[in-house]
Amino acid sequence: MVTSPWRAVPARPASVRRRGAVLERAILDAALEQLGTVGWKGLTMEGVAAGAQTGKAAVYRRWPSKEDLVVDALQAGLPRLEGVPDLGGVREDLLALCRQARDAMYSRPGHALRAVIHECDPTQVERFRGVIFAWVVEPTIKLLREVITRGIERGEVRGDAANGYVLDVIPAMMMYRSKMCASEWNDVDLEELIDLLMMPLLRPVAL
């Protein structure tokens, strides 16, 4: 029996053309990926289109500029901080919240946000101020206030501690160390932040 040298090649499955929300999600994911790898300055609409495996026109139809695209990508991707569990003590509650914040900072959307904050000029950063406050700063402050208020009710924390200066300490320190010192905020760092800085600030004044 003679075997033919020609063999049938299996047909490749036709690619599915993505539309609507599926395509938009792919573009937003590609924008976050670009920010995390090449940063704000390296991000291009062409690169995002290639990462999403779509045409550049599909990106520009939805977002006329990379600023518009990045705002939506951050809003869609940034993880929301969950409510802090009541672990029975303000120290443990603060550590749980700091770990949540740390994990959000080093998630893919968190890396993208830091690329925006670190690389944009002041005018560009102003474009993202609403996203940063609404999705990062305000939720963190709200949960910190909740933890400190619980501590006041337990008698662990001085009664006037839930003020703006105290509430700013953890977000400010975590952002400063991340931006200026490239700190990765491991568990030991977080414990020292709470034990050496926050707990002395919060303890009731001894009579």
Cα separation of 179 and 176, whole Å?
Answer: 5
**pTM of the complete model:** 0.78
CATH number of 62's domain: 1.10.10.60
pLDDT tens-digit series, residues 4-59:
333 443 443 434 466 788 999 999 999 999 998 999 999 999 999 999 999 999 99
- pLDDT tens for 31-43 read 999 998 999 999 9
| Domain's final residue, options 77, 101, 117 | 77
Instruction: Look at the chain and report how many structural domains it folds into.
Output: 2
Of 146, 169, 149, 168, whose CA–CA distance to 160 is shortest?
149
Q: State how far the Cα of 98 lies from the Cα of 190, in Å rounded to an integer.
A: 7
Q: Are residues 138 and 54 in the same domain?
A: no
